[in-house]
Amino acid sequence: MRLSNVTLVNVKSNQGVTESEMSRMDCIRSVRRFLPRRRWTRAVAVAALLAVAAGGVYGARALTGRDDAARNYTGAAVQRGDLEDTVTSTGILQPRDYVDVGTQVSGQLKALHVEIGSPVKAGQLIAEIDPTVYGSRVDADEAQLRTQQAQLQDKQAQLALAEQQHERQVNLMKENATTQEQLQTAEAALRSATAQIGVLKAQLEQTQSTLRGDQANLSYTKIYAPMSGTVVAQSAKQGQTLNANQQAPVVVRIADLSTMTVQSQVSEADVSSLRPGMRVYFTTLGDASKRWYGTLRQINPTPETVNSVVLYDALFDVKNPDGALMTQMTAQVFFVTAEARDAVLVPVGALRPAGSDSRDRGSATRDGGGAAAPRAQATTGDAGASVDVRARFANRPAVVRVTKAGGEIEARDVRVGVVRSSSDSARPRPRRNRPPETPGR
């Protein structure tokens, strides 16, 4: 027992190695005086085991006392940076202004003067349909018009003769030099000539109308660009026969690529957070570090259901002066519902509702300058963890544990501004890591 007591005291007192070895040697000499030589080796081994066990107990107690708070809390350093609460979605890029250029007449596509990617100006000739049939119709209408005009001149001459004959019969009748029958015959011939001129004039108007229609169809064989832009699609090839009797065949699509529209689909659970006029940005698959900024223009009221998921189209425009954005590109869209610049950032798990008992009575850690959160509470720290942290903490008072310089943990009242839950896809971005905005937006 004397040997064991001496060893524990040395370990607890935590003295130097030299003093401990001297004490152990004294003990060994004392034991060696009373024990036979053959039992001396066993006593030394027992003493060494007891010393090691005592040292282990002391070390465990020391570590337990020093790291008691570390077992219950995790530390996180407070930092400054930019924080955004966003609603994310995916979308596709489309030109804001585009037109499908088709043909109003049927026939063979005789010539196509543009191709995909060709820049065009309004009024530029881009395609031609074989004009043979429509040209022949115009020629026939013009010939018929000339015939009717000649007939009209003949009828006008007959009308003039009928008027003269009628006037002569009237004068003769005054002198009783003619009969009543001859006068009536002259009056009937005059009315007939007048009626025939009316018929011919109507026929002339009909022929002129037909001629104008055929001339229009003839002009439709030449297809001109209705707007300036770029040819982004080509639906017909040169030499192909187009049938416009049932629907207007599309020859090419012309789009103005200087302004693009992002058409993103937002689920019904998030669409209530969107408002026209809010800031929005997106990245493309080709360059995730470059942001394109815009303003939400509209939310279409009619949704689309895909696999039992209700999706609403949210549209916004973005300038594309250098043509880097192209049709049908996929965009990762971020609708900014709230943001804070150069703000103090702490993990969501470090927050507790105001009024809760947030004082720590355990041993203090020495992780200075950090916010401490219970290790077992990863989100909100109580039974309300299932509630959205935005509704729980945003713009409301809360409590956060802070490690003081002496190692003690202190509860401090704070007011939470912007909250982003751990389910958000993006992380807080310090200012120095913020991608530059695209020039010209």
pLDDT of residue 23: 56
In a domain, 61, yes or no: yes
Residue from 337, 391, 403, 401 nearest 365 by CA: 403
Last residue of a domain, one of 158, 190, 220: 220
In a domain, 89, yes or no: no
**Are residues 428 and 348 located together in one domain of the fold?**
yes
Q: Answer for the pair 402, 412: CB distance below 8 angstroms, yes or no.
A: yes
Beta-carbon count within 10 A of 248 CB: 15
In a domain, 237, yes or no: no
In a domain, 248, yes or no: no
Ramachandran bin of 239, using left for φ above 0, alpha for ψ from -120 to 50, beta for the remaining angles:
left
Structural domain count of the chain: 3
245 or 158: whose pLDDT is higher?
158
Q: How far apart are CA 350 and CA 411, in angstroms?
A: 11
pLDDT band at 39 (very low <50, low <70, confident <90, very high): low
306 or 373: whose pLDDT is higher?
306
In a domain, 166, yes or no: yes
pLDDT band at 40 (very low <50, low <70, confident <90, very high): very low
Mean pLDDT of 406-435: 61
Residues sharing a CB contact under 8 Å with residue 350, sequence separation 6 or more, in sequence order: 76, 371, 372, 373, 400, 401
Residues sharing a CB contact under 8 Å with residue 435, sequence separation 6 or more, in sequence order: 289, 290, 291
pLDDT of residue 29: 58
Lowest mean per-residue pLDDT among 40-44, 106-110, 255-259, 300-304: 40-44
pLDDT of residue 70: 46
Mean pLDDT of 369-388: 47
pLDDT band at 26 (very low <50, low <70, confident <90, very high): low
Q: How far apart are CA 259 and CA 236, in angstroms?
A: 26
Q: How far apart are CA 104 and CA 231, in angstroms?
A: 19
Q: Taking 50 as the threshold, does the pLDDT of residue 321 lie above it?
A: yes
Q: The tokens 């010539």 sit on which residue? A: 111
Q: Taking 90 as the threshold, does the pLDDT of residue 279 lie above it?
A: yes
In a domain, 19, yes or no: yes
Reading the block at residue 230, the tokens are: 């770029």
pLDDT of residue 410: 85
350 or 107: whose pLDDT is higher?
107
pLDDT of residue 62: 47
Last residue of a domain, one of 22, 42, 66: 66
In a domain, 270, yes or no: no
In a domain, 12, yes or no: yes
Reading the block at residue 84, the tokens are: 């955004």
Mean pLDDT of 258-262: 94
Q: What is the pLDDT of residues 180-220, one digit of tens each?
A: 899 999 999 999 999 999 999 999 999 999 999 999 999 99
- List Cα–Cα distances, 385 to 76, 377, 426, in angstroms: 20, 9, 21
Q: Taking 70 as the threshold, does the pLDDT of residue 41 lie above it?
A: no
Alpha carbon of residue 404 to chain centroid: 45
| Mean pLDDT of all residues belonging to the chain | 77
pLDDT of residue 3: 33
Last residue of a domain, one of 200, 220, 240: 220
Reading the block at residue 196, the tokens are: 């025939």
Domain that holds residue 37: 2-66
pLDDT of residue 435: 39
Q: What is the pLDDT of residues 237-257, one digit of tens each?
A: 999 999 988 778 899 999 999
pLDDT of residue 224: 96
